[in-house]
């Protein structure tokens, strides 16, 4: 504890001295009042920091700065300024802030795409993902998604816990995509390890979780000075990561040996690689599939949870969607991806979920050169945080009142008017991130979510569970990702005809 405090004191002083250099003669965006030495370092809450960023944005404008250990951090809360900078100035806005915790991993967590700086490995990993996840390639996975969603609906019909089953659904979909592996239960070792590693990545990305992130120089300290909490976390993360890579390698080897196994993201790349490139490519592929799991599962689950809570809070919206579905499918048929363009209201619900509660509420960059923007000069080396989530309407990105009236309300209708298509594009542009780092899984995510939502609305009506204590509320855990806190819902089958259709579809799938 003493060594940790000493390290913090010495490094804060060094950062303060170095930080002063960054401030001198710079025309930074406006700054809310903060401590004379520590600036806003200890004012950013670890729980829902985006709300605090939003509060500061209300008084300081769509671009403002904070001082974290005297180093400037620029916060972007408006859509236009974020678009101008992150989507248009790619050379300067593509690097993420370095993560000390990621670089302390012996088996190289910093090779995971989320932490990789632009360069050869970054380009190669993004290309691999693009080849599997682009709009056309994502269509190849639609029948797997449909089969998994129907199996999920059947488990819900049997009364299984919704939140556990949603995790099982999207873990299974993702592991089939990346490794060609179909887990049988939630306690599967690859799911357990992937969950732990994804949680570690989210912790590392959460501002204020580890003191070493505030002081980048700390990565040069001997481990004895890093303190018990940091050392214990690094040891635990390392052990999980090594074990996950070993387990995944075993699965990849066995699917590559099995000529009947369908090709997966990993096996397709590794089958075609030259032997001299195998070791480097294998490492990239391992970390790409870990990045996919970390990027995909919690985000998609958060959106599905948001949908279920929204349906309880807005029963008229649910009824309107079911009326649309019944008019297109008739009774006794389950939806497939081919029905997507015939169900505009269901599509509008999907987009509204992504706007109302974006699963990744903020993203960050490190500036690689000075940037002039209007009257401001953003200095090289400073961090930039784009606040995707906003609660106050005036300056907002996803809750922008210019485009989105009543931003706090769940109103899919906003996407059906004359400005509908433009609004859809705006939501996708903000919710899935920006520029070279835009989410590579967005088409896969929206097609997984669409088929889940359409199938659930066809088979069930989502009701709140009676009792004041079960009142539906959308609340989330602290961290860089949204994780919806446990809630209760009652899924009532809509008719015996759709239940029979679901059971029949399972029998015919089992017979294939």
Tokens of 55: 């509060």
CB of 108 to ligand HEM, least distance (A): 16
Which string of DSSP letters, residue by residue, matches 20-69? Answer: HHHHTT--PPP----BTTTBTTTTS-SSSHHHHHHHHHHHH-SEEEEEET
Q: In what order do the strands lie in the sheet with 362-366?
A: 63-68, 71-76, 383-387, 362-366
User: Dihedral, CA atoms, 287, 289, 293, 299, nearest 10 degrees?
Assistant: 90
Positions that interact with ligand HEM (CB under 6 A): 113-114, 133, 291-292, 295-296, 299-300, 303, 358-360, 363, 431-434, 437-441, 444-445
Q: How far is CA 399 from CA 79, 91, 332, 356, 362, in A?
A: 10, 28, 38, 7, 14
User: How many Å apart are CA 373 and CA 65, to the nearest integer?
Assistant: 13
Cα radius of gyration rounded to whole Å, the chain: 24
For residues 345 and 450, which CB has a smaller minimum distance to ligand HEM in the complex? 450
For residues 233 and 446, which CB has a smaller minimum distance to ligand HEM in the complex? 446
CB of 38 to ligand HEM, least distance (A): 27
CB of 331 to ligand HEM, least distance (A): 31
CB of 317 to ligand HEM, least distance (A): 19
User: How many Å apart are CA 328 and CA 447, to the nearest integer?
Assistant: 19
DSSP code, position 95:
B
371-373 and 460-463: which strand pairing?
Answer: unpaired
Contact at 8 Å (CB) between 435 and 87?
yes
User: How many Å apart are CA 267 and CA 246, to the nearest integer?
Assistant: 15
For residues 40 and 96, which CB has a smaller minimum distance to ligand HEM in the complex? 96
User: How many Å apart are CA 8 and CA 406, to the nearest integer?
Assistant: 45
User: How many Å apart are CA 49 and CA 30, to the nearest integer?
Assistant: 19
CB of 26 to ligand HEM, least distance (A): 25
Dihedral sign for Cα atoms in the order 359, 266, 444, 455: negative
For residues 342 and 429, which CB has a smaller minimum distance to ligand HEM in the complex? 429
CB of 205 to ligand HEM, least distance (A): 10
CB of 504 to ligand HEM, least distance (A): 30
Residue 439 is assigned to a ligand binding site:
yes
CB of 128 to ligand HEM, least distance (A): 10
CB of 296 to ligand HEM, least distance (A): 3
Count of beta carbons in the 10 Å neighbourhood of residue 502: 20
Tokens of 424: 């859809």
Backbone phi, then psi, for 372, in 5-degree steps?
Answer: -90, 130
For residues 225 and 438, which CB has a smaller minimum distance to ligand HEM in the complex? 438
For residues 70 and 426, which CB has a smaller minimum distance to ligand HEM in the complex? 426
For residues 72 and 433, which CB has a smaller minimum distance to ligand HEM in the complex? 433
For residues 201 and 411, which CB has a smaller minimum distance to ligand HEM in the complex? 201
For residues 23 and 373, which CB has a smaller minimum distance to ligand HEM in the complex? 373
Give the three-class secondary structure for 270: helix
Contact at 8 Å (CB) between 332 and 232?
no
Binding site, residues? 439
Binding site for heme, residues? 439
């Amino acid at each position: 504890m003493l060594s940790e405090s000493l390290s913090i004191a010495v490094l804060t002083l060094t950062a303060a001295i170095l930080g002063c250099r960054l401030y001198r003669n710079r025309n930074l965006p406006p700054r809310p009042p903060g401590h004379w030495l520590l600036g806003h370092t200890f004012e950013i809450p670890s729980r829902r920091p985006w709300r605090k960023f939003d509060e500061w944005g209300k008084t300081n404008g769509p671009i403002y700065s904070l001082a974290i250990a005297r180093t400037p951090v620029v916060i972007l809360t408006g859509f236009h300024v974020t678009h101008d900078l992150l989507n248009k100035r790619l050379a300067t806005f593509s690097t993420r802030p370095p993560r000390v915790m990621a670089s302390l991993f012996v088996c190289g967590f910093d090779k995971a795409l989320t932490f990789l700086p632009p360069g050869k490995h970054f380009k190669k990993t993004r290309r691999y993902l693009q080849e599997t996840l682009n709009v056309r390639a994502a269509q190849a996975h639609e029948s797997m998604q449909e089969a998994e969603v129907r199996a999920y609906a059947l488990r819900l019909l049997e009364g299984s816990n919704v939140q556990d089953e949603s995790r099982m659904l999207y873990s299974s979909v993702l592991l089939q995509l990346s490794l060609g592996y179909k887990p049988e239960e939630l306690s599967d070792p690859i799911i357990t390890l992937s969950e732990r590693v994804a949680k570690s990545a989210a912790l590392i990305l959460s501002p204020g979780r580890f003191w070493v992130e505030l002081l980048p120089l700390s990565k040069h300290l001997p481990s004895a000075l890093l303190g018990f909490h940091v050392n214990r976390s690094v040891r635990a993360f390392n052990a999980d990561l090594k074990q996950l890579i070993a387990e995944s390698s075993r699965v990849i080897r066995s699917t590559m040996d099995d000529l009947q196994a369908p090709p997966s993201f990993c096996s397709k790349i590794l089958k075609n690689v030259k032997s001299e490139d195998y070791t480097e490519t294998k490492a990239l592929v391992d970390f790409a599939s870990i990045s996919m799991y970390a990027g995909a599962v919690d985000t998609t689950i958060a959106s599905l949870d948001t949908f279920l809570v929204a349906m309880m809070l807005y029963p008229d919206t649910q009824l309107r969607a079911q009326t649309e579905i019944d008019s297109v499918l008739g009774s006794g048929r389950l939806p497939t991806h081919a029905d997507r363009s015939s169900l505009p209201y269901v599509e509008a619900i999907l987009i509204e979920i992504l706007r109302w509660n974006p699963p990744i509420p903020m993203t960050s960059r490190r500036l690689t050169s000075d940037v002039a923007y209007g009257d401001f000069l953003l200095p090289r080396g400073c961090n930039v945080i784009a606040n995707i989530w906003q609660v106050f309407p005036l300056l907002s990105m996803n809750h922008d009142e210019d485009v989105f009236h009543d931003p706090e309300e769940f109103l899919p209708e906003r996407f059906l008017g004359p400005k509908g298509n433009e609004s859809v594009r705006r939501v996708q542009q903000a919710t899935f991130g920006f520029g070279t780092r835009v989410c590579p899984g967005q088409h896969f995510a929206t097609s997984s979510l669409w088929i889940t939502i359409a199938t659930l609305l066809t088979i069930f009506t989502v009701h709140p569970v009676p009792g004041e204590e079960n009142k539906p509320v959308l609340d989330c855990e602290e961290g860089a990702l949204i994780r919806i806190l446990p809630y209760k819902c009652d899924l009532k089958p809509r008719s015996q005809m759709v239940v029979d259709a679901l059971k029949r579809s399972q029998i015919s799938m089992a017979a294939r």
